[in-house]
Amino acid sequence: FVIARRQHCAWPKDHGSQRSATSTKARSPPGQGWYQAKVIRTIFGAIGTTNRQFVEVGFNVNEQCTGSGSNTCELWRDEGWTGLLLDGAHSNASINLHTELVFSHNIEELFRKYHVPTTVDYVSVDVDSWDIWIVDAMLRSYHPRLISVEYNPNFPWRYSLAYPDSSMMRSAREDRVQHDAVGVFRGGCFYGSSPRALDMLATKHGYEIVAVTTPLDVFMVQKEVAPMAREALKRPGAQMAHFEISYPILQTRLASGTQLNAHFPSLWMTPKQAKEMIDFDEYQRRRRDGQSESSATAAARHSALRQIAELALEGSNCFRGLVGVNRSAGNRHAA
């Protein structure tokens, strides 16, 4: 994701000519997108489709099937799907890719602007930051059959940590240690949300996580079709080295986390960043109890800081510089 030229374009009626031209090119060896594509194909084979339309939020190139791996490439190129691509730094009208900064406060507006169906089949969100808040806001009005969201594998399952919502905390948008002026991710430890936080988000909106491609994305479907998706994903031929059936979730690698980019001190989470993190569970609980957004956020930051201090004491590289980081917070936000 990153910054913006606004182009008004209705939902595409036909990408046939572009898709045909692309499909004649030699295909690259399987990359990270290949694992997601197999999961997506298996899930839709089990739960069916409604309109064969997608939205991908976060797209790091100007062409559909290049770069580090689009989650929608095979749907578009091989299956004839149509859809909308949104990114802050890239645009290409021929594939319906538009430059837009995407936040929780404007995701519904953007979907209306580009005429996204409320029952769009698939939404992929990968913006290396406030992904969880974008999905939370989207699900107020839109109900995709399948959603994939990037998660932060450095956080073990037991923690419900989330990157702060930039719509609530301006400092999240202005971070310059792991992101540059237009928000391009630099590969550090300060990004995204824990898988447990995303599991709580799914439950809140009537979804269930059915699969995880480690260490990249979680996949959630509406709970009424979750048993069908899980059964299909367990069949011979659906399993892969980087794939996990999510339940029982504590038996997967999510239990202890997977340390990425953690051997370089320049990428470790800083004390300033740690103090920005949110305990998603704490925040949601306090909002349900009627607390104000500011009060719930303050309490959730305090709770998250305690969790991060625990991770630091465990010796996790990402959090190695944060031992004792919560001492200055005191108990002023305790329940």
Residue type (1 letter), 293: E
Percent of the chain having pLDDT more than 90? Answer: 49
Q: CATH 3.40.50 spans which residues of the chain? A: 16-255
Rounded distance, CA 233 to CA 40, Å? 10
Range with the poorest average pLDDT among 34-38, 115-119, 128-132: 34-38
- Across the range 95-99, mean pLDDT stands at 93
Residue 319 has pLDDT above 70, yes or no: yes
Q: Which amino acid is at 277?
A: M
pLDDT category of residue 60 using cuts at 50, 70 and 90: confident
Indicate whether 119 pLDDT > 60. Answer: yes
Q: What is the pLDDT of residue 179?
A: 54
* Alpha carbon 101 to its chain's center: 15
Which stretches does DSSP call E strand in 2-127? Answer: 53-57, 82-87, 97-99, 122-125
Instruction: For residue range 240-280, list pLDDT tens digits in order.
Output: 544 555 444 544 567 667 666 555 666 788 898 899 999 99
Q: pLDDT, tens digit, for every residue of 10-46? A: 444 333 322 322 333 334 434 455 678 889 999 999 9
| Per-residue pLDDT reduced to its tens digit, 200-226 | 999 999 999 998 887 789 999 999 999
pLDDT tens digits, one per residue of 137-182: 999 999 999 999 999 988 888 999 999 998 776 655 555 444 554 4
Quick one: pLDDT at residue 240?
56
- As a residue count, the chain comes to 335
What per-residue confidence (pLDDT) applies to 132? Answer: 97
Q: Looking at the domain that runs over 16-255, which CATH code has it been given?
A: 3.40.50
End-to-end alpha-carbon separation of the chain, Å? 36
User: Which alpha helices (DSSP H) does 163-264 contain, by range?
Assistant: 170-174, 195-204, 226-234
Q: Which pLDDT score is estimated for 26?
A: 34
Residue 24: the pLDDT is 32
Mean of all residue pLDDT scores within the chain:
80
Which residue, among 237, 217, 183, 223, has the nearest Cα to 71 in the 3D structure?
Answer: 217
What is the model's pLDDT at position 245?
54
Angle CA(185)–CA(281)–CA(166) in degrees, nearest 5? Answer: 35
Output the pTM of the full model.
0.83
Share of the chain above pLDDT 70, in %: 72
Bridge partners (DSSP) listed for residue 147? 123, 220
* Cα distance between residue 218 and residue 152, in whole Å: 10
CB 275, CB 305: distance < 8 Å: yes
Consecutive H or E run containing 149: strand 146-150
281-287 long-range contacts, CB within 8 A, separation 24+: 281/160, 281/196, 281/197, 281/200, 282/160, 283/162, 284/200, 284/204
Q: How large is the average pLDDT for residues 287-292?
A: 97
Q: Where are the alpha helices (DSSP H) in the chain?
A: 16-23, 32-47, 73-78, 107-113, 131-138, 170-174, 195-204, 226-234, 271-274, 280-288, 293-313
Query: Would you say 161 and 240 are in contact if contact means Cβ atoms under 8 Å apart?
Result: no
At residue 20, the pLDDT reads: 28
CA–CA dist 39, 209 (Å, integer): 12
